[in-house]
């Protein structure tokens, strides 16, 4: 697999690990947040923390779309599917997110709701075309990466004059979440960011400048392959040691300063900023999400079905909030691995493989069992 295996080379990883070990100052602690779930997944799947010195700590950020989706939004989707009997389409990870009354979209399906998993917004559009008498609603989630495909679907629906297609827009903005983290405890806690990969291909590297300039935190944009992550960590450590705070781009093979202008224009045409949006774990953040513009109002499922947002608190014992803010580790939550497991998630971080809790449970939980033998890395 050209262009992938090159970025998973074990030997190169070990030489990067050696470079990191050489450069870290033993008396320093380096607390680095990887914003994206894609990075969290890569770190866990390839066991990258084993390659880092003990004083380099990776903190999992909130960049996992299903993790930051509040219960109230999933309730919308379930209500539409069960009460309005629409065909509800969404991406796979959304199906298992726990919502009110012990439901999830998957459980709603078992109760007779027509819930479909799609790989693309265009699959949802095709369903609407094929079933003109059935309302088809696409439950759109994700950061800037998945927003342009939603915009394309809405524009196509308009061009086709579809009367039975609409979108619940839950698209959220990465920089807004980073601001929220830095304005809170994260400002003191964190020393730098491994910046988003795919998100940055769309928005470019420029939107991260304020974090370096105003908060003094270095940002290194990195690809999702293990060597990308290792290289970015090395670059962050060099910045921190030199007292620099800059936006650097490790992912130059895909990310430019200005990003994908065409995608940005498409998104700006279809969507506008919401005044405020509730994030799971981060609370209500102003100007942190998108909604459909007036010109596309007829494709807005919230308007079409008169959905009123109702905020629902997380499960009492669930620490997803603190984990998403980087204040706690998954294993510090008292229901981690007991009441809350990937098979039976209580909090959203346990749902997606990109979620901090699911990644740690699935790939790393043997580390807490000191009596569990550790194989020699070799």
Partner 1 sequence: MSLKKPNYIRPLDLKNGRVDMSHGSGGRAMAQLIAELFAAELGNPYLAQGNDGALLPPPGGRLVMATDSHVVSPLFFPGGDIGALAVHGTINDVAMMGATPLYLAAGFILEEGFPLADLQRIVRSMAQASRDAGVLVVTGDTKVVEQGKGDGVFITTTGVGVVRDGVTLSGDLARPGDRILLSGHIGDHGMAILSQREGLQFDASIVSDSTALHTLTAALLDCGGQLRVLRDPTRGGLATTLNEIASQSGVGMVLQESAIPVRPAVDAACELLGLDPLYVANEGKLIAICAPADAPRLLAALRAHPLGTDAADIGEVIADAHGFVQMVTRMGGRRVVDWLTGEQLPRIC
Contact residues: partner 1, CB under 8 A: 1, 4, 8-10, 13-14, 17, 37-38, 41, 44-51, 65-66, 91-96, 117, 119, 141-143, 145-146, 198, 226, 342-343, 352-354, 361-366, 369, 371-378
Measured between alpha carbons, how far is residue 193 from residues 11, 23, 175 in Å? 25, 18, 12
How near is the Cβ of 237 to partner 1 at its closest, in Å?
Answer: 18
How near is the Cβ of 225 to partner 1 at its closest, in Å?
Answer: 10
How near is the Cβ of 214 to partner 1 at its closest, in Å?
Answer: 27
Q: Are strands 136-142 and 165-171 parallel, antiparallel or unpaired?
A: parallel
Nearer of residues 93 and 212 to partner 1, judged by Cβ: 93
Q: Which residues, including other chains, have CB under 8 Å from residue 11's CB and lie 6 or more apart?
A: none
Chain centre distance of CA 102: 23
Nearer of residues 11 and 308 to partner 1, judged by Cβ: 11
Chain centre distance of CA 281: 13
How near is the Cβ of 354 to partner 1 at its closest, in Å?
Answer: 6
How near is the Cβ of 60 to partner 1 at its closest, in Å?
Answer: 15
Q: Are 321 and 330 in contact (CB under 8 A)?
A: no
- Helix (H) or strand (E) holding 88, with range, is strand 87-90
Nearer of residues 142 and 192 to partner 1, judged by Cβ: 142
Nearer of residues 129 and 353 to partner 1, judged by Cβ: 353
Q: Which residues, including other chains, have CB under 8 Å from residue 378's CB and lie 6 or more apart?
A: none
Identify the three-state secondary structure at position 194.
strand
How near is the Cβ of 183 to partner 1 at its closest, in Å?
Answer: 25
Nearer of residues 309 and 366 to partner 1, judged by Cβ: 366
**Structure-block tokens of residue 49:** 């923390």
Query: Between the CA atoms of 224, 229, 235 and 238, what dihedral angle is there, to the nearest 10 degrees?
Result: 160
Backbone angles phi, psi at 30, to 5 degrees: -115, 105
Nearer of residues 153 and 162 to partner 1, judged by Cβ: 153
């Amino acid at each position: 697999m050209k262009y992938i295996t090159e970025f998973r080379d074990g030997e190169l990883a070990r030489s990067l690990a050696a470079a990191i070990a050489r450069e870290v100052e033993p008396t320093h602690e380096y607390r680095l947040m990887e914003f994206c779930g894609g990075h969290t997944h890569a770190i866990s799947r390839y066991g990258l923390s084993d390659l880092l010195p003990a004083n380099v700590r990776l903190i999992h950020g909130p960049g996992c779309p299903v993790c930051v989706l509040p219960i109230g939004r999933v309730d919308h989707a379930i209500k539409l599917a069960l009460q309005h009997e629409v065909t509800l389409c969404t991406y796979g990870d959304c199906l298992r997110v726990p919502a009110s009354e012990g439901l999830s979209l998957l459980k709603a399906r078992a109760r007779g709701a027509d819930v479909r998993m799609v790989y693309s917004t265009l699959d949802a559009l095709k369903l609407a075309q094929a079933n003109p008498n059935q309302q088809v609603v696409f439950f759109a989630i994700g950061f800037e990466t998945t927003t342009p495909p939603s915009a394309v679907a809405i524009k196509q629906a308009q061009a086709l004059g579809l009367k039975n297609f609409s979108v619940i827009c839950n698209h959220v903005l990465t920089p807004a979440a980073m601001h929220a983290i830095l304005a809170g405890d994260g400002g003191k806690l964190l020393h730098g960011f491994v910046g988003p990969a795919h998100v940055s291909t769309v928005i470019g590297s420029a939107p991260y400048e304020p974090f370096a300039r105003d908060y003094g935190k270095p940002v290194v944009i990195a690809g999702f392959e293990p060597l990308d992550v290792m290289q970015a960590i090395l670059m962050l450590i060099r910045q921190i040691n030199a007292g620099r705070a800059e936006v650097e781009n490790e992912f130059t093979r895909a990310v430019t300063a200005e990003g994908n202008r065409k995608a940005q224009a498409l998104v700006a045409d279809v969507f506008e900023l919401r005044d405020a949006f509730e994030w799971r774990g981060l609370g209500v953040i102003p100007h942190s999400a998108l909604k459909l513009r007036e010109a596309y109002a007829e494709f807005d499922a919230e308007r079409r079905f008169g959905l009123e947002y109702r905020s629902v608190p997380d499960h009492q014992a669930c620490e997803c909030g603190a984990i998403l803010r980087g204040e706690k580790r998954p294993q510090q939550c008292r229901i981690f691995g007991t009441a809350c497991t990937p098979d039976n998630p209580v909090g959203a971080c346990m749902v997606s493989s990109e979620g901090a809790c699911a990644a740690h449970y699935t790939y790393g939980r043997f580390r807490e069992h000191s009596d569990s033998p550790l194989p020699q890395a070799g």
